[in-house]
Amino acid sequence: MKLAFSILLSFITLAATAQKKQSKEEWQQLFNGKDLSGWDIKIRGHELNENYGNTFRVEDGKMVVRYDQYDDFKFQYGHIFYKKPFSYYRVAVEYRFVGEQPKGGEGWAKRNSGIMVHGQPAATMGKDQDFPISIEVQLLGGLDKGERTTCNLCTPGTHVVYEGKLDTRHCINSTSKTYNGDQWVRAEVLVLGDSLIRHYINGEQVLEYQKPQIGGGVVSGFDPQFKVDGKLLAEGSISLQSESHPVEFRKVEILDLKGCMDPKATNFKSYYVKADNTLCTYGKKK
């Protein structure tokens, strides 16, 4: 009995020690709550960083998408890009849909936005390009009738491997529930280079697929040099959509999963999954 208790105590001690060594997750706020510094804007039909109609703006500490200065939407799809690319990470947004579409907004775009990951840089988009070549985590609000999942997958100029085979459908629905009204919802995406992507809504996994790659259509106005079909997507830009329905983001944050994985370094993080030991720093920990 004493031996068994001693072994159990040893396991508890080891577990507690391991837990102490777990690094605290250091989420980085991509949106500072004050202005749009660190972001690029690209709206169809307009030059880079021409924020037509003040579409993307900050109101009451939120990044918002508005159309009150539009006479007609006229397929002027827009995206706001964080300037730094990422490869292994978790990105999360807290969003809600409000108000009504402007004139010219298409029916499918009602209460519709998205998080684009593994995308091309904003500066490489054509003036009249509608969407960045990317993987879209589609955000949808309920329409107060029927079911309408969110955190779906759409693929402008891309394909993925889903359930073990290359899937060329443009959109694949998640298993999420429907979120009606103007409620806040947290969407999170786990991105592991060119191997795995998972979607989560309010902490629940709702979709998973592998091997994101360039291919297919549903994107126009692009420069062909940036669409090399079959090329795996291991990193890229992160952007948020303007598709004709007003939407608000009160939080946009990222947990980088790539970095120093040498336990002897001062900036080692136990939650990293991809090593880049060129980033390691050594010396006394502060």
CATH code at position 78: 2.60.120.560
Do residues 30 and 253 touch, judged by C-beta distance below 8 A? yes
In a domain, 263, yes or no: yes
Residues 6+ apart with CB under 8 A from 5: none
Q: Is residue 110 part of a domain?
A: yes
Is 124:115 a contact under the CB 8 Å cutoff? no
Residue 262 included in any domain = yes
pLDDT tens profile 217-263: 999 999 999 999 999 999 999 999 999 999 999 999 999 999 999 99
CA distance 49 to 42: 6
Residue 286 pLDDT? 53
As given in the structure block, the two tokens for residue 224 are 């062909």
Structural domain contains residue 108: yes
Range of the domain at 183: 35-273
Q: Which of 144, 266, 136, 263 is nearest to 189 (CA)?
A: 136
The pLDDT tens digits for 55-76 are 999 999 999 999 999 999 999 9
Amino acid at 270: S
- Write down the pLDDT at residue 283: 87
**Residue ranges, the chain, pLDDT below 70:** 1-20, 285-286
pLDDT for 285: 57
258 and 89 Cβ atoms separated by less than 8 Å = yes
- The tally of domains found in the chain comes to 1
The pair of three-digit structure tokens given for residue 30, joined into one six-digit string: 């991509």
CB of 89 within 8 A of CB of 235?
no
Burial 140-159 (b: 16+ CB within 10 A, else e): bbbeeeeebbbbbbbbbbbb
pTM for the model: 0.91
Determine the pLDDT at residue 261.
Answer: 97
